[in-house]
Chains A and B, each alone.
Chain A
Amino acid sequence: MSLLSEIEECGEVIGKDTIDSFLACMQCGKCTGSCPSGRVTSYRTRRVINRLQAGDRSVLADPNLWMCTTCYTCYERCPREVRITDIIRAVRNLAAKEGYMSKSHRATASYVIKTGHAVPINDETKKLRKELGLSEVPPTTHKFPKALESIRKIIKKTNFDKLVGFDWDTMSLEERGEK
């Protein structure tokens, strides 16, 4: 299967039009120049799109793929309306399937499994909520621990736990050699 159709499959929910839009990239560099992450990392948005156009599979193993913060600035500014951020997300799905996933993304996933939140509540947030006149604990899994059971059911059913390498016995991530 070609890299393009594999990405299309992984981006099914986003749609074929979105995935195909990267074929219209004219290599102007608006995305890289606009990228806040690229200011501090070696992530070069245009290069990723360029390599995808060329069918270069090595992009899946590139740790830079995980440096996008999905802020959507490139998406907003792209003069050819390439839906860059959505494409990056689909490519990450494919990369994760092949066993490439950044450690920090796995860690975030483990928080979801453990707490139902990618960013669990902390004392700072509680204080801020109180100041704003909100209940200290939000009406999520934090308040309804039973809902967490449903989330875990989904995670097991979709094999998300295996994808990120979550060990239910130790309730932590398995050691994985960084690919």
Chain B
Amino acid sequence: MRSLIIGGGPAGLQASLDLADAGYDVYLVERYFSLGGHAVQIAKNYPNLTDIKDFMKPLMEKVYNHEKITVLTNAEVLSVDGEVGNFKVKVEKRPTYVNVEKCTDDACKKAMEVCPVEVPNEFNLGLFDKRKAIFIPFSYSVPYGCVIDEKSCLHFKDEGCSRCNEVCDGINFEEKREIVQIDDVGSIIVATGFDPFDPNLRPELAYDKYKNVITSLELERMLDENGPTKGKIIIDGKEPKSIVFAHCIGSRDKKVDNPYCSRICCMYTAKEAYMVKEKIPDATISVSYIDMRAFGKGCEQFYEEVQKKQVLYRRGVAAEIYGAGDQVVLRAEDTLLSNAYEFNADLIVLAVGVEPRSDSAELSKVLGLQIDDCGFFVEKSIYDTCETEKDGIFIAGCCQGPKDIQDSLMQGSAAAVKAIGVMKRCNN
């Protein structure tokens, strides 16, 4: 009997590892080309500012190389039949047209060099750089090596380009889509994660209008030493000297159907403000917030540390944003003073909230699970957030509700224990 994990972010990775270490065979299905989820787009974690890479890279490698774990990346679950103790799962494994076993630094470099296609690099949110149709997903992707994105590759269009094939012998354009049938699946853990909120749904914040209004995830890419700007914060060729962070963008907001608190934005903003201040010591930094929610272990202390870095917290949500010359202006009410203020800034960072995956409704149908009004998977009871109404299917991480990396890992472990319990029961 084996277990199926859907989603290779922190929760899915941890669940896979715990199950495998307990002696169970695991299939881990990940939609993207690499394991890691959104966590690998982030440079440092709060509240202790440790490098996320130092944690995620070994975790991903351990899972990938574990003899009990079969990792299927670039793959998606098509159907689930059967019941607890004996699910039958059909997975679509899409071709990447590259045998990563044959990847060498030199061959990959050459292949990417000769590729004539350039498209925005989605890992960096399309904002900073372009990638080729043949590319390495990111600096420490697992599996590591090139993949071909068939949507942009010219070989699959009329032009019939094969330039990468001429410089690299790992390429196989004949590779086909595979259907992998997995039987004897005792338990399933769903850990499909989240989508960041699209701030265009709040047009008064003018996100699509100004280059110097960005999302927190976009800033994360700039804070990453291995990212597209090598850790430099550059807006329109210049280092910003005045920065405002705006909390609760797409959270606690019924107008965009997200009435819940996203739980992570208060603290990731505190961390980002801290990191920006480290990088630009003479910057003026301000944060517009509604309520400060620093509930995690060590978080309140970290918040205090950030305040002592001269990051000014002003109570009141961002009301609107508009341009003023090269700068942008955030207008808000300081609700403690009962007066509106305007902050002229070189950069405004929108702390976007956590949303369920846009296709969570489709997956819920495949699995026979319930989703709530917001699109998160529904747990059986608030006292047991891993179990679902469906025996043998468990949920973990942000697909159940917004949470940080620490909590996602913990729920991944908890789901693994539940899965082991159910499989023991079915074996007796």
Task: Using CB atoms and an 8 Å cutoff, list the residues of chain A in contact with chain B.
Answer: 26-35, 38-39, 44, 46-47, 77-81
Q: A33-B318, A33-B340 are in contact. Are A79 and B252 (CB under 8 A)?
A: yes
A-B contact count (CB 8 A): 67
A34 adjacent to B319 (CB under 8 Å): yes
Nearest A residue to B318 via CB reads A33
User: Which residue in B204, B252, B331, B339 is a CB contact (below 8 Å) of A77?
Assistant: B204
Task: Judge if B48 is at the interface, Cβ distance under 8 Å.
Answer: no
Chain B: interface residue total (CB-CB under 8 A): 22
Residues B254 and A44 in contact, CB atoms below 8 Å apart: no
A81 contact set on B, CB distance < 8 A? 254-255
20 contacts across the A-B interface (CB closer than 8 A): A26-B291, A28-B317, A29-B316, A29-B317, A29-B319, A29-B333, A29-B335, A30-B317, A30-B319, A32-B316, A32-B319, A32-B333, A33-B317, A33-B333, A38-B340, A44-B338, A44-B339, A77-B319, A79-B248, A79-B317
On chain B, the residues within 8 Å of A35 by CB distance are 340
Known: A79-B248, A81-B255. 15 other contacts (CB 8 A): A26-B252, A26-B291, A28-B248, A29-B317, A29-B333, A29-B334, A31-B319, A33-B331, A44-B339, A46-B335, A46-B338, A47-B338, A77-B204, A77-B319, A79-B254
A78 touches B255 (CB 8 A): yes
Q: How far is the CA of A30 from the CA of B333 in the complex (A)?
A: 7
**B332: CB under 8 A from chain A?**
yes
A27 surroundings in chain B (CB, below 8 A): 290, 335
A28 contacts B255, CB within 8 Å? no
Q: With A and B bound together, what is the CA distance between A151 and B186 in angstroms?
A: 77
Nearest to B316 among chain A residues (CB) is A29
**Among B255, B318, B320, B333, residue most surrounded by chain A Cβ atoms (within 10 Å):** B333
Interface string of B327-349 (1 = CB under 8 A from A): 00001111100111000000000
**CB of B258 to closest CB in A, whole Å:** 9
Within the complex, the shortest CB–CB distance from A42 to chain B, in Å, comes to: 9
Q: Are A46 and B333 in contact (CB-based, < 8 A)?
A: yes
- A79 contacts B333, CB within 8 Å? no
In the bound complex, what is the Cα–Cα distance between A3 and B338 (angstroms)? Answer: 23
**Chain B: minimal CB distance from A115 (Å):** 37
B229-266 to A contact mask, C-beta < 8 Å, 1/0: 00000000000000000001000111100000000000
* Complex Cα–Cα for A32 and B319 (A): 8
A residues near B334, Cβ cutoff 8 Å: 29
Least CB distance, A49 to chain B, in whole angstroms:
11
A82 — nearest CB in chain B belongs to which residue?
B254
Q: Determine whether the beta carbon of A28 is less than 8 Å from that of B290.
A: yes
Q: Is the CB of B204 within 8 A of A34?
A: yes
- CA–CA, A163 and B247, complex, Å: 45
Question: In the complex, which residue of chain B has the Cβ closest to the Cβ of A39?
Answer: B340
A96 CA to B254 CA, complexed, in Å? 33
Given the complex, which residues of B lie within 8 Å of A38, measured CB to CB?
340
Chain B residue at minimal CB-CB distance from A32:
B333
- A27 CB, min distance to chain B CBs, angstroms: 6
The residues of B that contact A32 with a CB separation of less than 8 Å are 316, 319, 333, 335, 338, 340
Are B319's CB and A33's CB within 8 A? yes
